Structure 1
Amino acid sequence: MFRGLYTATSGMMANNRNQQILTNNLSNANTPGFKQDQTVLRSFPAQLIKAMGTGNNSATQNRIGTLNTGVYAQEAIPSFIQGALKDTGNRTDISILEDSLPINPVTQQKGTIVFAVQIDNNEVRYTRNGQFTVNQDGFLTTSEGYNVLNQNLQPIQVNSSEFTVEDNGRVILNDGSNTNRLWLGYTEEPAQLIKEGHGLMRWGGNPAETPQFIDEVGLLNNTGSFVKQGFIEQSNVDLTQTMTQMMNTFRAFESNQKVIQAYDQSMEKAVNEIGRIY
């Protein structure tokens, strides 16, 4: 009798987690470069059900089938579909373009490209938010003050906002010098990038398979552009779809709640009536 109670409870917990993820997506709908998370729901391991009273010999027992006793929210996986580009006219705004990326013949999916930045402990993190600025020392930084890195994973000094970024990420300063290129890293497994907040991501997969500079994976043989100056990539959150998913999740939560209420009423009746001694 209590098996259904546990199943409905797990459904409430899974829907609650899904609602939290959808709410976070909605709150970041205007965050440049934000990638919406998608909830992965999985069922608990199936249990084999057998008929009672058929003996202890497993060969003679009548197997009824399998039963799943609930679901759980395993993880949130970012969707790296490119967001729409917004023309800002700001020379420090740089967006990543993925139209020319190859499709993996095995997975039939594109990889993704990311910028590299340096956080406070000098570790490297990745981001899709190209809403950059120039700090007081003339270095190109994120809006949180993290240094944007070049092809050698070193900070890029541009001195002023009067610089040009070519399609392949080459940075040309106001005096015509071009010793730096934006570090543009490519990976075929973007799901291994783990969000850390402030638009930053760290690599959570095999350390030997971290995103590689586009030159090292031969992407420069493509004729397409990889970056576009004066534009920012907007969030890829679909507001209408997200609101619809939140309503459906709320209804599913309510449905599981009503199942629990029904079980509660059944148990109350069992205690007060069936167990009564005449």
Structure 2
Amino acid sequence: MSDTIQAISRALGADVQGLNAVSHNVANLATPGFQSVRVLPDFASALGQAQHVQLQDGPLRQTERSLDLALRGDGFFQIKRGDEVLLTRAGQFVRRADGVLATLAGDEVMTDAGPLILPEQDVRIDDSGVIWQGDQRMAQLALVDVAEPSRLRPIDGGYRYDGVAATWNGTVQQGAIEQSNVDAAEETQRLIELSRHAESVQRAIAIYDRTLDTGINRIGDN
């Protein structure tokens, strides 16, 4: 009896987790640099499933703004929030009030020169992430890839990562923003499939409940 209840509970829990992932993806359709999440098998999880970030380039939107940067290929910008280093694909950067290159939320964009004080005029950023003022090299953006994508943990404005870093081999495109890589049609299909499966599990629960009720009543009759 307990095995049946646990199996049904796991199935329903997995559906709820999948629906939460779809909801999270849809809510971020318009979030620059957002990487969709999928619920995949994970035997270390109590449900046997866990959310994983799907690393794939999103489409580009051209802005021609010098501090709008998009990454092509796997990899992340490194940003600093307080004393914590985070990762992000959202390259809508600004010149903070103190002149430091930062995210829209005010987090410092990391470079090999530390906090980068930008001039008031536009800078050039090449496809390897080097920042130039005219012919003068100012800094190299701190770009990194991840060797263990399953250890990425989405947070507001980026990701926490406690896995092994890997060498970044992508390119930077200046004057463009990477849009979310969420496929709306695919998410709609997943929503339909998960909803139908959850309804089937709910019917199984109702049938099992009636079976138990009948069995208990018959025991009482005896």
| Fold equivalence (TM over 0.5) | yes
Counterpart position of 1:235:
180
Q: Does 1:256 align with 2:201?
A: yes
Counterpart position of 1:76:
51
Structure of higher CA gyration radius: 1
Alpha-carbon spacing, 1:87–1:96, altered in 2? closer, same or farther (3 Å): same
TM-score relative to the length of structure 1: 0.73
- SS of corresponding position for 1:29: coil
CA contact (8 A) 1:5 1:259 kept: no
Shift of 1:274: 5.0
RMSD: 2.2
Q: 2:107 aligns with which of 146, 160, 164?
A: 146
Counterpart position of 1:24:
24
Shift of 1:176: 4.6
Shift of 1:92: 1.3
Aligned residues: 221
Question: Hey, which of these two has a bigger chunk of helix by percent?
Answer: 2
* Pairs within 5 Å for 1:127-276: 127-152=88-113, 154-160=114-120, 162-173=122-133, 176-195=135-154, 197-205=155-163, 209-212=164-167, 214=168, 219=169, 226-276=171-221
Alpha-carbon spacing, 1:43–1:165, altered in 2? closer, same or farther (3 Å): closer
Q: C-alpha separation between the residues in 2 aligned to 1:248 and 1:189?
A: 29
Q: C-alpha separation between the residues in 1 aligned to 2:72 and 2:87?
A: 16
Q: C-alpha separation between the residues in 1 aligned to 2:48 and 2:31?
A: 25
Greater than 4 Å deviation, 4+ residue runs: none
CA contact (8 A) 1:138 1:158 kept: yes
- SS of corresponding position for 2:75: strand
TM-score relative to the length of structure 2: 0.90
Unmatched runs of 5 consecutive residues or more in structure 2: none
Unmatched runs of 5 consecutive residues or more in structure 1: 45-70, 99-111, 220-224
Shift of 1:193: 2.6
Letter in 2 for 1:172: W
